[in-house]
Structure formats: structure tokens, C-alpha cells
Amino acid sequence: MPHRLRYPLHDTLPMPGQTLQVAAGVHWLKMPLPFALNHINLWLLEEQAGWCAVDAGYDSADTRALWEQHFGGSMGGRPLTRVVATHYHPDHIGLADWLATRFDAAFHASLGEIALAKAVWHDLPGHDVAALNRHFALHGLPEAKQAQYAERGNTYHWGVKSLPVTFNRILAGDVLRLGGSDWLAIPGYGHSPEHMALYCADKGVLIAGDMLLPKISTNVGVWGGEPDGDPLRQFLASLDRFLHLPEDTLVLPSHGRPFVGIQPRVAALKAHHDERLAAMLAAMDGPMTAYELLPALFGRMFDLYQTMFALAECIAHLNYLWHGGKLVRRRDADGCHRFSIAP
Ligand SMILES: [Zn+2]
């Protein structure tokens, strides 16, 4: 029987525009998101000369207004000295440039994250909407839906109006000195190219970003820039890096409540993906496209935005089974990839 997660803060949450201290010198902020997933957690670390922000929030008028409240309120008028992004997704990096520019603060991220952020932001070939549509067309997305994506354009710009021009590179295994403590950069792959979680042994705290969430499973998708990739295998392998952290580590996730229980959460995530993989194999009824298999993986219909992530995640599960020898893939005369059980 797996151990359940513990939530040491119970139902205590930071109020909008206020912070809640979760460990010595570590403060929790909640910011809104305009999606079904309606919030992101950010972290402020007390530094000698001001504050370090870990993740910045999605660029919206609401989030900017809340940051303004923090500047004069919870931050006591002290400046941001550093901004760290765990990864390039808009809810994490969206306001990094705005914050860093305003305070002339140093910006830190991994090269993989900043490189992909710039590729997507600047619509580079392979990372633009046309590439997304070509990729999804190979996996059976109907033309009408492709037209909707084309019309919608680059959604990355919705939450990221600008990106920092320069950055300070975080490498896997680096130790960042933040707020008088050492924070170990633990890389994670599969959700984004080079996600960095930060672990502080002194405080017994892991800032997990999106790699370990208490309730929802992290999105793991195959996108147009690396269509034959195997990010699910990378994600599952990355989870093992957290297993040797102490059992009583307080995990600070980007979505949901802080929790204790890395080991049971990793076990549950692995079991979840095993179940999804088994469901896909069971649903395979002759050669099928990823789009045809979407109901087997998720069992429900999605709006346009959710379909994008669901289809990318479906392809990630198929590529995992394909690279693992459980499925074969063929390209049919209609241009679509179809998967079937390996003989
Ligand atoms: Zn993310």
C-alpha cells in the first residue's frame, strides 16, 4: 500500500498579493492563470540585499497588478536581485524579463530552456505553428483543427511579451548560493528540454517546478521540433533523481499545495503512466493514428488548447512504446503515421 502524501500546511494558502512563509526565508506566492489550471506557485527567497524570485508568472494584467502589490507590501520595498526560471513555459518565464529589467536583476536559467524559449518566441522553423500543424497532421489531426491552430497563431506570445536578452546559465549539478544557502540544481527532462528543480538540504526543501506535482500528472509531450523523441522515457528516468532526497523533504510544486512524500509520488506517477501505456495497447485495434487513440488515453473531449497538449502527450506514449519495441509505426499513403502492435 503506497504511503499517502502529507500536506504540512494543511489548507493554509497565501492570499492574493500576500506571501506565506513555508520554510526559513522561503515564501510562497500564488498567481492566477487564465486556464483550467488556474494558478501557479512562485517562490521568493530572502537574500541579503533583497529577494530572489524563483519563477515569474504568466504575463497578464492581473499578475502584474499582484506583483505591484508585492513590491510595496510583502517584499517590504526591497528589490529583486535575481530571477530564476525553472523552465521556459509561459507561466514560469512570462514575466521574468519584466521583473529582471525593472530591478536590474540577474536572470538565471538553463541553456536548453532559454534556447527553446527563443526558438518558440521567434517562430523559428521547426518551432512555429506551421511545424506544429505538420507534426500533428502526421498523427491524424483533422484539417479543420489545423486551420484553427493556424488562425490562432503563436500562443506563447499570450503569456510571454518579452524574454530576457541575456542569461546566466544553470548547469545540472550546479550549486546556486541563494539567500545564504546552497541550492542544488537537479535537471529534469521530458516536460521541457532542461528543467531545473532546486534542492536545499539546509532547509529540507525542494522547489520542484513542474517535475513533481501532488495531484495532476506533469504534461509530457512530443512537439514538432523533435517529432521522433521519447520524452516519456526521459521524464520517468528523471523522476529517479529525486528518489534519493530525504523522505521528509518539503516539496514546493508549481501547481497545488506543498507536500511531503517524494517517494510515493514518484511511485504513483510511474504507475499512472504504466496504466496509460497499458490502456493504449489494449485500445490498439489495427493500425491507428495518435489522434484516433486520444480517447483511449484520456477518455474525454477537449477544447482546442487542451487538444494540443493531449495529442502531444498521446504521441509521447506512442513513441515510448514504439522505441521500446512494443509497437511498430508505418507511414500510410495518406501521409499519416499509424501504429500497431509489434509482431
Ligand atoms: Zn511547465
pLDDT in tens, 88-147: 999 999 999 999 999 999 999 999 999 999 999 999 999 999 999 999 999 999 999 999
The mean pLDDT value of the chain amounts to: 96
Q: How far is the CA of 218 from the centre of ligand 1 (A)?
A: 8
Kindly state the percentage of the chain with pLDDT values over 70. 99
Distance 313 CA to ligand 1 centre (A): 13
| Ligand 1 centroid – CA 92 distance (Å) | 7
What spacing in Å lies between the alpha carbon of 334 and ligand 1's midpoint? Answer: 34
Averaged pLDDT for residues 267-283: 96
Q: How far is the CA of 89 from the centre of ligand 1 (A)?
A: 5
For the chain, what are the domain ranges?
20-284
pLDDT confidence tier of residue 305, bands split at 50, 70 and 90: confident
Interatomic CA distance for residues 238 and 260, integer angstroms: 19
Residue 152 has a CB neighbour count (10 Å cut-off) of 13
Cα–Cα dist 230/258, whole Å: 29
pLDDT tens digits for range 167-196:
999 999 999 999 899 999 999 999 999 999
**Residue partners of 201: CB distance under 8 A and separation at least 6:** 182, 184
Ranking 64-73, 107-116, 154-163, 301-310 by mean pLDDT, the lowest is 301-310
131-150 per-residue burial string, b: 16 or more CB within 10 A, e: under 16: bbbebbbbbbbeeebbeebe
pLDDT of residue 62: 96
Structure confidence at residue 140 (pLDDT): 97
Chain centroid offset of residue 331 CA? 31
pLDDT of 2 higher than 60: no
Question: Which CATH architecture group holds 20-284?
Answer: 4-Layer Sandwich (3.60)
Q: How far apart are CA 155 and CA 23, in angstroms?
A: 35
Question: What's the CA gap between 171 and 186, in Å, rounded?
Answer: 9
CA distance 210 to 241: 14
Between strands 175-178 and 168-169, the pairing is unpaired
> pLDDT for 95-107, tens place per residue?
999 999 999 999 9
Q: Residues 78-116, buried b or exposed e (16+ Cβ, 10 A)?
A: eebbbbbbbbbbbbbbbbbbbbbeebebbbbbbebbbbb
- Residue 3: what pLDDT? 67
- pLDDT for position 1: 42
How far apart are the CA of 173 and the centre of ligand 1, in A?
20
